[in-house]
Structure 1
Amino acid sequence: MSDLKQTPLYDLHRELGAKMVPFAGYAMPVQYPLGVMKEHLHTRAQAGLFDVSHMGQVILPGSDAAAALEALVPVNLVGLGESRQRYAMFTNDAGGILDDLMVANRGDHLFVVVNAACKEADLAHLRAHIPEVVEIADRALLALQGPAAETALETLVPGVAAMRFMDVATFDWQGAELWISRSGYTGEDGFEISVPAAQAEAFARALLAMEAVEPIGLGARDSLRLEAGLCLYGHDIDTTTTPVEANLAWAIQKIRRTGGAREGGFPGADVILAKLETGATRQRVGLRPQGRAPMREGVEIYADAEGGTPIGTVTSGGFGPSIEAPMAMAYLPADLPEGTTVYGEVRGKRLPAVIAPMPFQPTTYKR
């Protein structure tokens, strides 16, 4: 642990009794004394505070930044309105996904948040194609998620309640400039807040002083995002999966598709556009295992209870505290409809699972 990087909230995590684990080169809290199950349910019922400062924060300055970044992603960024944010993904020449990211238009620059495990590779990728890339190293990133998030944050930062899902804005808190987006990765309404590192602990303490807010670790963050049907890079998406196979075609706007005004022009466009037209042979789907045994990452999926060869593999799986049942994601043949029963091999036994719609838990974003 001594060789790991620390976020600005490291000492606070230790004070709060967090169990710290290595994650993407950082010492991160996996859970607090409340425990993963209760942390998950508290976020769904009230509000959870997550430290996501390990993620990369990047600024792309200038009026040409949107066009430059659009050449690396299959997403409409030139048309992204000021004070709005959009989900995007870096693709490679084979149409695979290098990383997924959030892009915000903050007027005179773009603010980009990338995954921690891909941060260095993403920065190198950006610098190879875009003249000016500024890594932000002196700010923390917090996520406040859950139905009480709006009331809690509005108490400290008046005005945030007026924001809609995927809005971004700048606010002041005791002299600290906060960059806030109404977004998150739990399926709940909530906010992500970039705060100067020097004020991060004081700001976190102010939120945690509220009865509705509890600190939440990586364990519950993972079960929350899985219930919401959201991908985890390196597990559900990677360089071998295209956005179409990953069921992320909704993120590719019409203007970047075949026949659109800015068709293609991104790495792997020929592969991705072809799959958009003809469909992929495999697709990321939701699974509801029948019974109580979870089907975790790596479990092979079969069409039949006995014999045959695997038709796919689970990429994420676990128990959903909110749905009170196991859940999983897997890549399976695209011609299998929802409701189809397949079989996962768990400890030498084939157990049934039904292909199910996602999200497993309804989302509550403020539209």
Structure 2
Amino acid sequence: MSAATAPLLKTPLHGLHLELGARMVPFAGYSMPVQYPAGLMAEHHHTRSAAGLFDVSHMGQLRLVGPDAAAAFETLMPVDVIDLPVGKQRYGLLLNGEGGIIDDLMFVNRGSDLFVIVNGACKAGDIAHIQARIGARCEVIPMPERALLALQGPQAAQALSRLLTHIEKLVFMTGGHFTWEGADLFITRSGYTGEDGFEISVPDSHAEGLARTLLAQPEVQPVGLGARNSLRLEAGLCLYGNDIDTGTTPVEAGLTWALQKVRRAGGAREGGYPGAAKVMAQLQDAAGALTRKRVGLVALERIPVREHTELQDAAGRRVGEVTSGLLGPSIDRPVAMGYVDAAQAAPGTRLNALVRGKPVPMEVSPMPFVPNRYYRG
């Protein structure tokens, strides 16, 4: 049976989504809620002002176990795994031999293991990739028995603290173990919206009960994939498969902030990962190795510019393509991100997007489009 004809998988919250009136769509092989009756705009604004609850159980969760796990995992990525302190979380990038991004992920040093969260559409391939390359050096243990919830927004901590004591001790990109109704939760203070918030790994058996308890808090409303997309785009965050893929390197994608000095040229553990030569050359822009860059774009007319839209310079030459775009609900302006020739990537550069054959003026803009509000203590 092909992936196209395979029945859609359901998360442990599927029944709850239907009860709440969600419109369900296929996503990463799952039946997922794209929006609830309140609608995308209301869900987006509620997350920015209070707290939104997202079902992200389609994501992949796994553990890497063994004394060599950190060193082994570091051979797959251009990031520092070995020196990550216990309790800290970091953003990572699995690369192929050409420096292209197989997936982006989050990982936490839990002391006893590395806890890894990968994208839903990539999880089977990611787990196979990791197992094939470092399975001899550490145990690679998928965790399909656990769901994942994201509680995001400026009032997320207020709501969650009624259920769990000491949750306020977590700061951005840290994690810890908590117990709720006898279930072991692992919670990180992180997310995909640009807001303060938490991602909660919970046993399937307790996922619906936890979701219902969170939704009973006055600050919390359910939020679907539609608003998740608009929130992450305003925050300048990449969507795998749109803004980054196996044909994109971390340098082209503007993700060099994720490459610590220890892994760069001259660092104590430089290179040693797939595609290192290409990534290093682009970092130093040796002989013009970096030919294109991911940029933010703001439309100067009120016309949303969608993915795959061609970008041209003033002379009508093709210089790039939009990879994500929509009307940003928080700023009430059309925003986008895309790839342009390196010479066209400076903020303030004027370009035209071809929308139904007509040029829409756009300006290269810094990201995020909406300031991030992560809680750093």
TM range (shorter): over 0.9
Which ranges in structure 2 are unaligned for 5 or more consecutive residues?
A: none
Distance in 1 of aligned mates of 2:98 and 2:130: 18
Q: Secondary structure at the match of 1:140?
A: strand
Match of 1:40 in 2: 44
Separation in 2, partners of 1:215, 1:45:
14
Tell me how many residue pairs correspond in the alignment: 365
Structure 2 residue 120 is the aligned partner of structure 1 residue 116: yes
Alignment correspondent of 2:342: 334
- Correspondence 1:71-110 to 2 at 5 A: 71-110=75-114
Which of 1, 6, 9 is residue 5 of structure 1 equivalent to? 9
Q: How far has the Cα of 1:291 moved from its partner?
A: 1.4
Separation of aligned partners in 2, 1:50 and 1:246: 26
Which deviations, in whole Å up to 9, do the C-alpha atoms of 1:221-261 show, x marking residues without a partner? 00000000000001000011100000000100000000000
Among 290, 307, 316, which residue is 1:280 paired with?
290
TM-score, normalised on structure 1? Answer: 0.98
- CA distance in 2: counterparts of 1:164 and 1:147, whole angstroms: 13
5+ residue gaps, structure 1, are none
Equivalent-residue separation in structure 2 for 1:60 and 1:332 (angstroms): 37
User: Which position in structure 1 is the counterpart of 2:201?
Assistant: 194
Equivalent position amino acid for 1:240 in 2: G
Structure 2 equivalent of residue 185 of structure 1: 192
What one-letter code is carried by the residue in structure 2 that aligns with 1:323?
I
Cα separation, 2, equivalents of 1:7 and 1:90: 26
Distance in 2, Cα, partners of 1:206 & 1:87: 30
Q: Distance in 1 between matches of 2:55 and 2:33?
A: 8
Matches of 2:8 and 2:181, distance apart in 1: 31
Structure 1 position 2, deviation (Å): 8.7
CA-atom RMSD in angstroms:
1.0
One-letter amino acid of the structure 1 residue matched with residue 98 of structure 2: A
| Residue aligning to 1:324 | 332
Secondary structure of 2:161's aligned partner: helix
Superposed displacement of residue 309, structure 1: 2.8
Is the aligned partner of 1:250 residue 2:254? no
Query: Partner letter of residue 100 of structure 2?
Result: G
TM-score, normalised to structure 2, is 0.96
Deviations 1:243-301 (A, max 9, x none): 00000001000000000000000000000011101162210000000111111000000
For 2:141 and 2:246, the matched residues in 1 are separated by 25
**C-alpha distance in 2 between matches for 1:182 and 1:295:** 32
1-side partners of 2:241 and 2:169: how far apart?
35
Instruction: Give the % identical residues.
Output: 58
**Which residue number in structure 2 is paired with residue 301 of structure 1?**
311
Q: How does 1:167-178 map to 2 (within 5 A)?
A: 167-178=174-185
AA of the residue aligned to 1:86: R
AA partner of residue 327 (structure 2): F
Q: Which runs of 4+ in 1 moved over 3 A?
A: none
